[in-house]
């Protein structure tokens, strides 16, 4: 049957399915040892040396979100107390007024209770913690309600006297 033609309906053999890739097995550590790269030592920032007591002022139950207060707090942390008050006086944020009151309170505490020189005071620590959260609901369409979270804050300011000559 030399004139035999191939049957067009004849099924062609299917390509073999690929086996799922095997997960790479963990090679023993002894097979390839590479020394870890040594990190370059960064020079450390010199920290100011303080003398005398640390004086605190705390404002609790502030009805401003901590995220908004932290934006302003980062601007004045580590600055001289008088410089921080001046900077906050000219900052156009509502949170700046609240922080300004707490820093002025810490300065007054240092001056009246501990008899420290106000010209040498530095805002050594300033942190804003989350306070109470009020949960409210906003009515939406089709009888639904969306939660509204109103955040509160607690502010802590610590001022210390910077050592002479530094």
H or E stretch covering 86: helix 81-89
The number of folded domains in the chain is 1
pTM of the model: 0.69
Confidence of residue 40 (pLDDT cuts 50, 70, 90): confident
Evaluate whether residue 65 is within a structural domain: yes
List b or e across 69-91, with b for residues whose CB sees 16 or more CB atoms inside 10 angstroms: bbebbebbbebbbeebbebbeeb
Tokens of 80: 């001289």
- Within the chain, strands assigned E span 50-62, 121-139, 145-162
Evaluate whether residue 42 is within a structural domain: no
pLDDT digits (tens, 9 = 90+) for 130-161: 999 999 999 999 999 999 999 999 999 999 99
Evaluate whether residue 21 is within a structural domain: no
| Domain of residue 107, CATH code | 3.90.470.10
Evaluate whether residue 54 is within a structural domain: yes
- The residue ranking higher by pLDDT, 31 or 141, is 141
pLDDT digits (tens, 9 = 90+) for 94-133: 999 999 999 999 999 999 999 999 999 999 999 999 999 9
Tokens of 164: 């002479």
CA atoms 49, 162, 110, 114: torsion sign: positive
Evaluate whether residue 41 is within a structural domain: no
Evaluate whether residue 110 is within a structural domain: yes
Distance (Å, whole) CA 110 – CA 123? 12
| Domain membership of residue 71 as a residue range | 50-162
Evaluate whether residue 144 is within a structural domain: yes
Tokens of 108: 């007054």
SS3 161: strand
Evaluate whether residue 98 is within a structural domain: yes
């Amino acid at each position: 049957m030399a004139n035999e033609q191939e049957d067009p309906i004849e099924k062609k053999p299917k390509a073999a399915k690929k086996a799922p890739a095997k997960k790479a097995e963990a090679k023993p550590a002894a097979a390839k040892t590479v020394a870890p790269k040594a990190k370059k030592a960064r020079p450390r920032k010199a920290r100011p040396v303080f003398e005398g007591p640390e004086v605190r002022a705390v404002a609790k139950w502030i009805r401003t979100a901590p995220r908004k207060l932290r934006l302003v707090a980062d601007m004045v942390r580590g600055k001289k107390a008088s410089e921080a008050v001046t900077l906050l006086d000219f900052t156009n944020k509502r949170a700046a007024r609240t922080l300004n009151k707490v820093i002025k309170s810490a300065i007054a505490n240092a001056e009246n209770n501990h008899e420290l020189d106000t010209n040498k005071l530095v805002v050594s620590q300033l942190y804003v913690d989350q306070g109470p959260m009020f949960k409210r609901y906003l009515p939406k369409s089709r009888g639904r309600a969306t939660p509204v979270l109103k955040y509160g804050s607690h502010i802590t300011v610590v001022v210390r006297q910077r050592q002479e000559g530094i």
